[in-house]
Homo-oligomer: A and B are copies of this chain.
Amino acid sequence: MMPQTVPRPAAGAARCKRCILHARCLPLGLEQDALQSFDAILQLPRPLKRGETLVRQGDPFTSLYVVRSGSLKQSLAQDGQRGQVLNFYLAGEIVGLDGIGEQRYHSSVVALEATFVCKLPFTRLEDLAERVPGLRGQLYRCMSRELRNDQRMLCLLSGRTAEQRLASFLIGLSERFRSRGYSLYRFHLSMSRSDIASYLGLVLETVSRTLARFQEQGILSVSGRELAIHDHEALSMLAWENSSAGAT
């Protein structure tokens, strides 16, 4: 179960200072007064229902959003093809960075469950960043992190087996939960098999089968969307095992 320890947003200002995400969110490392200015431009956490769209591909870019609780998926539709899932966002992560360049959101982001997000109007954020070097640095850092993320995904999609992809995905999720103070070993998958499949460049049947195989091998158990990892090490091994393909 995804714990519900998460803040029912306080009335009034957003109050980053008290937010439990304080340690991993955008304003990380800001001074007292910078933090207050940041607080001032940050809009009240907005509730999203499961399936609700936060930003729509092609819409004019206005704001970044910080996930306060819950989770979302980012997906890109092209031509006639079905949407490709590009990413999943958890608490403390920032949505909308790919819109900065073109002034339009380049992908859609949809809530996977009941979710709260804080809105950051970008023009005001930029004004503030002009005065606060630390914030500018954080912004760069976030974009850069996203870049690295995508690059890891490119490696994953390029010539790795279904087992390796799924193992990496689960290990990655597990670590993201851990770093948020949740269990490394048991968690709830808020995304469907089909979302996972799309994200990993597979079809949902393969995801289902591969999970079944992991379960047979005693590495984990799944029941619906509840997951328990029994042999974290074995899973890691699978994830990083050598395969093939690739060049210099």
Contact = CB atoms under 8 A, between A and B. Distances in A.
A100 interface: yes
Contacts of A11: none
Interface in A133-151: 133, 136, 139-148, 150-151
Interface stretch (A29-37, A74-82, A176-184, A212-220): A74-82
A4 interface: no
B140 A100 contact: yes
A166 B159 CA distance: 15
Interface stretch (A19-27, A83-91, A222-230): A83-91
Interface in A31-72: none
Contacts of A147: 97-98, 101, 106, 143, 146-147, 150
B192 A247 contact: yes
Contact of A201 (B102, B159, B192, B197): B159
A159 B110 CA distance: 22
Contact of A248 (B80, B195, B242): B195
A159 B201 CA distance: 5
Nearest to A157: B157
Contacts of A192: 247
A1 interface: no
A148 B247 contact: no
A247 B143 contact: no
A246 B82 contact: yes
Given A154-B154, A155-B76, A157-B201, A144 B245 contact: no
Contacts of A198: 158, 245-248
A99 B79 CA distance: 33
A204 B139 CA distance: 39
A151 B106 contact: yes
Contact of A150 (B82, B154, B201, B244): B154
A106 B200 CA distance: 22
A130 interface: yes
Given A106-B151, A143-B147, 5 more contacts: A98-B144, A98-B151, A106-B148, A126-B136, A159-B202
